[in-house]
């Protein structure tokens, strides 16, 4: 069933007349060595069906064995999201028939999630903090991957045949479900994006997943509904499945707001359904109709014992939690003395880790920021790269700044040294030597260059000698040129004036 095509309502108009409510489900693949319930390897990009066991293929009689590291990771995530960790919880069978789940059920958790009742503070670009309530974080296994061949869309409709790869089947997942996020109004798309981005940062900080969106390590399902006003009951929601970039999360929410406003304006009802996100066209289309009564016939998994993490273990895990990204950012900002806007730019440019490492190597926070947000940001942009991609390390930037601070090179020479580093010529020290870029600190060669310049421009020399200091810049310029920028201009000026008796 597809809904009729209706006019989209302009976004600003839609959020003026309707109150959007979002809800987000995020699946994160855990970076364990082996799968959730068997010893098949977890690795990206293997030959199809090369990382499987009888358990991940759902063969008759194969019995699951729970991966302890996956449970530890799930507890870490729960604690980082300020959740209560269950004293005891069970797995459940979520029954459905589809070839990506060879057992005909997904082993998941239903009414007994390992973590529940948490929250996460999310910082928007302008510094506003939005608290997102977490309903639950539960453990489950990933499904296999279907490839539909022969159709125009890559979807099953119109395909000639389908292939299935079970390498992904059984990879441990944690699914994190928010409560309805209300009161964010026209910022709903931005909040959705910032929430997923913050979660990604947390997964990486916890070292529980590589959390690479482009590999599908983190996948978001975005629920959205509209209501006439914040006092009204919640409207009917749609669930846009498997949105896998931050930008798409934001765009999908924005699109659904415009689309649902069009449906409601036409006096129709929003259909409760899943929807597909189309990255290329920026629209969602109808998937399958989903009612709350959808019957997965959940029942407790009889082949696994309940998981009952001891309070001691939970506290041990809590003690190992690293500093969370927002806390770290606030601490570094205070240590570095950056203004709010400077810090935001640094974070948005992906320069936080690089600057931290540069400062750790001995450079001032201001000096580190100057390089990474200035010359290097410019270079990265020009080459369409990220700062991380540049072939220069924080240690090299620190060494470069140290050469400037010691007076051995000036800012202009430093940029030439940086050229050399980026071109793979070695460390800054090597390049200063190999390219002969040191500031000329010996007066001898400077005096020789000054004499040459004075001899070449006798009229200017005469004026300066006569007390008119205006044209002295031309002599200094000639000396700087002759020494290829390696002279200290202040010292040259002193020497010129001395030389002509001023
Ligand atoms: Mn799930």
Q: Which residues constitute the domain of residue 335?
A: 323-434
pLDDT recorded at residue 228? 96
Of all residues in the chain, what percent carry a pLDDT higher than 90?
Answer: 72
CA of 174 to the centre of ligand 1 (A): 8
pLDDT recorded at residue 291? 60
Q: Say which residue, 267 or 498, is predicted with more confidence.
A: 267
Question: What is the chain's mean pLDDT, rounded?
Answer: 92
Give the containing element (helix H, strand E) for 175. strand 172-178
CA of 116 to the centre of ligand 1 (A): 15
* The dihedral formed by the CA atoms of 157, 240, 85 and 78, expressed in degrees to the nearest 10: 110
CA of 28 to the centre of ligand 1 (A): 10
Q: Say which residue, 100 or 155, is predicted with more confidence.
A: 100
In a domain, residue 46? The reply is: yes
Encode pLDDT of 21-33 as tens digits. Answer: 999 999 999 999 9
The answer to whether residue 52 scores a pLDDT higher than 60 is yes
- Select from 411, 434, 457 the last residue of a domain: 434
Cβ atoms of 483 and 435 closer than 8 Å = no
User: Do residues 328 and 477 both lie within one domain?
Assistant: no
CA of 69 to the centre of ligand 1 (A): 19
User: Do residues 311 and 406 both lie within one domain?
Assistant: no
User: Do residues 86 and 156 both lie within one domain?
Assistant: yes
Number of domains composing the chain: 3
CA of 459 to the centre of ligand 1 (A): 84
CA of 76 to the centre of ligand 1 (A): 18
pLDDT recorded at residue 502? 57
CA of 140 to the centre of ligand 1 (A): 7
User: Do residues 69 and 202 both lie within one domain?
Assistant: yes
pLDDT recorded at residue 472? 84
CA of 27 to the centre of ligand 1 (A): 7
- The DSSP annotation for 273-331 comes to EEEEEETTTTEEEEEEE--TT-----EE-TTSPPB---HHHHHHHHHHPPPPHHHHHHH
Read off the pLDDT band of 197 (50, 70, 90): very high
Q: Average pLDDT for residues 271-293, to the nearest whole number? A: 85
Encode pLDDT of 431-485 as tens digits. Answer: 998 888 877 777 888 888 888 888 888 888 888 778 788 888 888 888 888 887 7
Encode pLDDT of 347-387 as tens digits. Answer: 888 899 999 999 999 999 999 999 999 999 999 999 998 89
User: Do residues 41 and 86 both lie within one domain?
Assistant: yes
CA of 10 to the centre of ligand 1 (A): 33
Written in H, E and C, the secondary structure of 32-95 is CCECCCCCCECCCCCCCCCCCCCCCCCCCCCCCCCCHHHHHHHHHHHHHCCCEECCCECCEEEE
How is residue 347 written in tokens? 């974070």
CA of 94 to the centre of ligand 1 (A): 10
Cβ atoms of 236 and 23 closer than 8 Å = no
Of all residues in the chain, what percent carry a pLDDT higher than 70?
Answer: 98
User: Do residues 195 and 304 both lie within one domain?
Assistant: yes
pTM score:
0.76
User: Do residues 76 and 23 both lie within one domain?
Assistant: yes
Which residues on neighbouring strands pair with residue 138, listed in sequence order? 175
Contacts 24+ apart (CB under 8 A), 362-365: 362/398, 362/402, 363/397, 363/398, 363/401, 363/402, 364/401, 365/335, 365/336, 365/337, 365/338
Q: Average pLDDT for residues 476-495, to the nearest whole number? A: 82
User: Do residues 210 and 177 both lie within one domain?
Assistant: yes
Which residues on neighbouring strands pair with residue 289, listed in sequence order? 273
CA of 347 to the centre of ligand 1 (A): 31
How is residue 378 written in tokens? 């410019």
Q: How far is CA 120 from the centre of its chain?
A: 17
CA of 155 to the centre of ligand 1 (A): 20
pLDDT recorded at residue 5? 63
CA of 173 to the centre of ligand 1 (A): 8
If you search the block for the tokens 């924005």, which residue do you land on? 254
- Select from 407, 434, 461 the last residue of a domain: 434
Read off the pLDDT band of 1 (50, 70, 90): very low
Edge to edge, the sheet with strand 273-278 lists 84-85, 115-123, 129-141, 172-178, 19-29, 218-227, 238-243, 273-278, 283-289
pLDDT recorded at residue 485? 77
Helix residue spans in 108-241 (DSSP H): 188-206
- Select from 404, 434, 464 the last residue of a domain: 434
């Amino acid at each position: 069933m597809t809904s009729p095509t209706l006019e989209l309502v302009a976004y600003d108009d839609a959020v003026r007349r309707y109150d959007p409510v979002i809800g987000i489900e995020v699946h994160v693949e855990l970076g364990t060595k082996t799968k959730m319930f068997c010893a098949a390897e977890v690795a990206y990009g293997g030959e199809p069906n090369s990382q499987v066991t009888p358990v991940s293929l759902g063969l008759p009689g194969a019995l699951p064995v729970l991966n302890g590291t996956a449970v530890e990771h799930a507890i870490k995530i729960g604690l980082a999201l300020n959740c209560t960790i269950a004293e005891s919880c069970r797995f459940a069978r979520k029954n459905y028939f589809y070839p990506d789940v060879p057992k005909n059920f997904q082993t998941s958790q239903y009414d007994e999630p390992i973590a529940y009742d948490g929250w996460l503070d999310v910082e928007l670009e302008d510094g506003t903090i939005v608290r997102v309530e977490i309903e639950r974080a539960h453990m489950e296994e990933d499904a296999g991957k279907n490839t539909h061949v022969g159709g125009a869309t890559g979807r099953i409709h119109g395909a000639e045949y389908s292939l299935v790869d079970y390498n992904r089947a059984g990879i441990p997942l944690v699914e994190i479900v928010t409560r309805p996020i209300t009161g964010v109004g026209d910022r709903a798309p931005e909040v959705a994006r910032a929430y997923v981005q913050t979660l990604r940062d947390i997964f990486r900080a916890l070292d529980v997943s590589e959390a690479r969106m482009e590999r599908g390590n983190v996948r978001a399902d975005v629920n959205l509904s509209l209501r006439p006003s914040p006092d009204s009951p919640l409207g009917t929601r749609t669930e846009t499945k498997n949105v896998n970039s931050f930008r798409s999360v934001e765009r999908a929410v924005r699109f659904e707001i415009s689309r649902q406003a069009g449906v409601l304006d036409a006096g129709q009802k929003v259909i409760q359904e899943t929807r597909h996100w189309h990255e290329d066209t920026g629209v969602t289309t109808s998937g399958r109709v989903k009612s709350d009564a959808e019957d997965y016939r959940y029942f407790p998994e009889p082949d696994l014992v309940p998981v009952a993490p001891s309070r001691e273990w939970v506290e041990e895990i809590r003690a190992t939690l690293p500093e969370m990204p927002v806390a770290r950012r606030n601490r570094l900002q205070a240590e570095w003395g950056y203004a709010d806007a400077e810090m935001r730019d640094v974070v948005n440019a992906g320069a936080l880790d690089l600057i931290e490492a540069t400062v750790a190597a001995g450079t001032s926070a201001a000096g580190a920021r100057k390089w990474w947000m200035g010359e290097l940001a410019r270079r990265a942009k020009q080459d369409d790269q990220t700062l991380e991609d540049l072939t220069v390390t924080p240690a090299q930037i620190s060494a470069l700044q140290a050469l400037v601070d010691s007076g051995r090179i000036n800012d202009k020479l430093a940029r030439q040294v940086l050229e050399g580093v980026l071109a793979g010529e070695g460390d800054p020290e090597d390049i200063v030597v190999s390219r002969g870029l040191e500031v000329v600190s010996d007066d001898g060669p400077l005096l020789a260059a000054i004499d040459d310049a004075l001899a070449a421009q006798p009229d200017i020399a005469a004026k300066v000698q006569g007390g008119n200091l205006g044209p002295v810049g031309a002599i200094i310029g000639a000396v700087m040129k002759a020494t290829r920028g390696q002279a200290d201009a202040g010292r040259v000026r002193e020497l010129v004036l001395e030389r002509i008796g001023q």
